Amino acid sequence: MLVLSVIKRVPEEIKEHLEKAFGETHFTFCHGMDEAEDHLLEADIIITYGEDLTEERIQKAKKLKWIMVLSAGMDLMPFDEIDKRDITVTNVKGIHAKPMAEYAISMLLQVSRNAKLLSQREREHQWDRRVPMMEINGKTMVLLGTGAIAQETARLAQAFQMKTIGVSKSGRAKTHFDETYAVEEMESILLEADFLVAVLPSTPETKYLLNRDHFKKVPDHAVFLNMGRGDLVTTVDLLSAVQENDIAHAVLDVFEEEPLPEDHQFWEEERVTVTPHLSGISPHYVPRGFDVFECNLKAYLRNEGMENLIDPKRGY
């Protein structure tokens, strides 16, 4: 059986570990799909970021039974062809949970502890103990989204003794949330938000889900953090919410247009913090992805159920 990986720069220790752990299985590690083209014919399993598979390649890979996507987004996967061939697809849903939860807590602490001003004072060599400090314990975090990333963020928020409220399509109860509500009930929940954290994927239902009126509902001292998708709210609504003091601060990792243009107003706003879509970036990404793969390979070889199965008909 051949496992074909087209992931670039897989650490040697991961390769050696897999070859040792699965002696009966052959592994071919290629530096991208171009290098892998000739091996497609023989591959039973492909490990990919999911952006390099075309209909033609699926057709060429006649023995292919399982695609392991080392990513959470799968917009470029040729699901029709995959579905026709009844090929199994799994991904690494949840792999972003730890770095993104740390991003959220880090940024909320930075805003609450006035890190920008402190850093300026440091550059000026100015010993200024009057810079106002807030604590995050005892506050309420409202999370838009209750999936793996939101849950990990809520878990840390609870460790900081925050109240955590989740908003999702179903409103179903989830671990690490003190309360959960369906999206229809969102408006009344916003009144409680000291921190409003958006972790929603981009779907027709979440597109421009938030508007200016929602920001008017949250307390003036609230901090909004968006690490989901940039089309949750229009730039215009968000900018006026900050400029007209509906909210105290916005921390933005995602934008309607990325990269954020150099002359964009967000860069200049004192009470907007811009980060370049990096909340999910982690040095542990590839090792964690291969950990998920290894678990699933064990299950696959034993004909047992795998984690993070994707329905090709729905694409998620």
Please state the closest distance from residue 241 (CB atom) to a copy of itself, in A: 20
In the chain, the N- to C-terminal Cα span, in Å, equals 27
Please select the residue that binds a copy of itself; options are 20, 129, 302, 314, rule is CB under 8 A.
129
126 scored as a contact of a copy of itself (CB under 8 A): yes
Phi and psi at residue 206, to the nearest 5°: -95, -10
Please select the residue that binds a copy of itself; options are 32, 160, 212, 248, rule is CB under 8 A.
160
> CB-wise, 261 or 315, nearer to a copy of itself?
261
Please state the closest distance from residue 66 (CB atom) to a copy of itself, in A: 29
Please list every residue from 167 through 186 that binds a copy of itself, using CB under 8 A.
none
**Starting at the edge strand that comes first in sequence, how are the strands of the sheet with 309-310 ordered?**
26-29, 2-5, 45-48, 66-69, 88-90, 309-310
Residue 305 CA: distances (Å) to CA of 42, 238, 282, 300: 24, 44, 28, 7
Please list every residue from 254 through 293 that binds a copy of itself, using CB under 8 A.
258-260, 262-264, 267, 273-278, 281-284
Please state the closest distance from residue 87 (CB atom) to a copy of itself, in A: 32
Q: Which stretch binds a copy of itself (CB under 8 A): 154-162, 174-182, 293-301, 303-311?
A: 154-162
Measured distance CA(198)–CA(65) in Å, rounded: 36
Phi and psi at residue 129, to the nearest 5°: -85, 5
8-state DSSP, 141: E
> CB-wise, 116 or 169, nearer to a copy of itself?
116
Q: Where are the alpha helices (DSSP H) in the chain?
A: 12-21, 33-36, 55-60, 79-84, 97-112, 115-123, 148-159, 186-190, 212-217, 235-243, 265-268, 285-301
Please list every residue from 76 through 105 that binds a copy of itself, using CB under 8 A.
98-99, 102-103, 105
Do the Cβ atoms of 247 and 218 come closer than 8 Å?
Answer: yes
> CB-wise, 39 or 264, nearer to a copy of itself?
264
Ramachandran assignment for 94, one of left (phi > 0), alpha (psi -120 to 50 degrees), beta (any other): left
Please select the residue that binds a copy of itself; options are 23, 24, 86, 137, rule is CB under 8 A.
137
Please select the residue that binds a copy of itself; options are 39, 85, 155, 163, rule is CB under 8 A.
155
135 scored as a contact of a copy of itself (CB under 8 A): yes
117 scored as a contact of a copy of itself (CB under 8 A): no
Measured distance CA(71)–CA(308) in Å, rounded: 11
163 scored as a contact of a copy of itself (CB under 8 A): no
Please state the closest distance from residue 314 (CB atom) to a copy of itself, in A: 30
Q: Which stretch binds a copy of itself (CB under 8 A): 65-73, 116-124, 142-150, 301-309?
A: 116-124
Distance of CA 18 to the CA centre of its chain: 27
Q: Which tokens belong to 212?
A: 């200016």
Measured distance CA(41)–CA(44) in Å, rounded: 9
> CB-wise, 59 or 282, nearer to a copy of itself?
282
Which residues of this protein are in contact with a copy of itself, per CB under 8 A? Answer: 98-99, 102-103, 105-106, 109-110, 113, 115-116, 118-119, 121-122, 125-129, 131-137, 155-156, 159-160, 258-260, 262-264, 267, 273-278, 281-284
